[in-house]
Amino acid sequence: MKKSIFAILALILLTSCSSPKVEKKTEFGEKELASTSELEFQIKSVRKSYGDEMWLEDDSIYVVVEMSIKNISKEKQNISTFDWKLQNAALTETDVSSVESTVGGETFSVDVLPGGTVEAIFYFEQPLDNSGLVLAYYSNMFSEEPEIKINLTTDCSDVAVSETPYAIGQSATYRDKIYSIEKVQTSSGKDYTKPSSGNVFLGVTVKIKNNSSVDMAEISSNSWKVYDDKGVSYDYSYFSVWETESFYDKQLEPGSEYSYIIAFEVPKNGKWRLAYYGNMFDEKEKFSIILN
């Protein structure tokens, strides 16, 4: 009888020792299939984009995360944009941007039935040149600690524009668009379209290329100013002898190019520098090109 009791105790001890508690995985790589007890997450792509640049702060960029999310539980699960935050090396945490953007993301909240899958695009506004990006999932928007983290390999670096003015024939890359000057011309006007006495019309043909993988908006001719050699600035002129466009929201498809004339009324025989501002409300010059 004693032998039987000892045998049972030994079996219990052996069983308990052979079944160690498995720690739940909470940190994943970008290419791993991440999961909680209810959901599976598969990142399909991570990219950078400026989207509608007029909504971005200076020195910022969107980090865009495209993801497939599957309900692996036996109950309906709610999936919300607000369950996700992006952490970085500066030890800050950013919510999903709520601003509509051409990058394709939008805020949402949806109930997913067992076995169901939803495709989502999240975009986060981040400071340029940031690194150490970590996508953090919270089981709900009120949670204090993330349930899982996914380490991203993408950083927020970008091509810096030169502080020295560019020359005709050189290209300036700013926020995923490539700018160059195709032609510079002047005119004394014709018929009833003439500049003021002592002035000429200055026409600058600018070519823009969308160097990103998404549709982008070129803001307007009002984003440009001309400066003379004394630092006096001249705004875009709505009246000239050329066909000009003062468009506000010209969409450029990925890889596409577009050329248009920007007209100014300026004093004769001046030395000119063309300066680009991110949009018509921006007060900070982004780059400039010497015209003559």
The CATH architecture of the domain made up of 172-290 is: Sandwich (2.60)
Higher per-residue pLDDT: 247 or 182:
182
CA–CA distances in Å: residue 61 to residues 8, 85, 147, 273, 275: 65, 16, 26, 28, 22
Contact 73, 111 (CB under 8 A): no
- Quickly list DSSP for 49-82: E-SSGGGSPTTEEEEEEEEEEEE-SSS-EEEEGG
Lookup result for tokens 């209810």: 38
What is the pLDDT confidence band of residue 267, given thresholds at 50, 70 and 90? very high
Within the chain, all domains assigned CATH 2.60.40.1240 are found at 24-151, 172-290
Mean pLDDT for all residues in the chain: 83
CATH topology of domain 24-151: Immunoglobulin-like (2.60.40)
96: nearest Cα among 57, 134, 123, 63: 123
- CA 137 to CA 72: how far, in whole Å? 16
Q: What is the model's pLDDT at position 103?
A: 43
- CA 43 to CA 30: how far, in whole Å? 7
Model confidence, pTM: 0.71
What are 78's strand-pairing partners? 111
Mean pLDDT over 234-241 rounds to 84
Mean pLDDT over 188-209 rounds to 88
Q: What is the identity of the amino acid at 271?
A: K
Q: What is the model's pLDDT at position 101?
A: 46
Asked if the model's pLDDT at residue 139 lies above 60, the reply is yes
9: part of which helix (H) or strand (E)?
helix 2-17
